[in-house]
Amino acid sequence: MDILGIIVLYAVVIGGMWFLLMRPQKKEQKRVQAMLANMEVGDTALTTSGFYGVIIDITDDDVIVEFGNNKNCRIPMQKSAIAQIEKPSGE
């Protein structure tokens, strides 16, 4: 095998690794950004620490989440701390 063949082989391997590793990560990142952009007051949020709460206020980078029925348990947190959003059912 000559040097050109080895270079082509390395290029194919590196391209394959990028396709298998980086592309799914960027796809997930876009999904999370879209979820955070569609977040509204009244949605149920699952935090990265595993707590469920209702979003009561949204600013540019932060949200205020109310946990449980206790009105005194309102915690401001960054949007990046939200792992999942659940829209309220339209009953």
Residue 55's CATH number: 2.30.30
Report the distance separating Cα 59 and Cα 81, nearest Å. Answer: 14
In a domain, 35, yes or no: yes
Domain enclosing residue 59, as ranges: 3-86
Q: In sequence order, what are the beta bridge partners of 82?
A: 47
In a domain, 42, yes or no: yes
In a domain, 56, yes or no: yes
Per-residue pLDDT tens for 31-72?
989 998 899 999 999 999 999 999 999 998 899 999 988 778
* % of the chain beyond a pLDDT of 70: 97
pLDDT > 90? residue 88:
no
pTM for this entry: 0.69
In a domain, 77, yes or no: yes
In a domain, 41, yes or no: yes
In a domain, 91, yes or no: no
pLDDT > 60? residue 91:
no
In a domain, 10, yes or no: yes
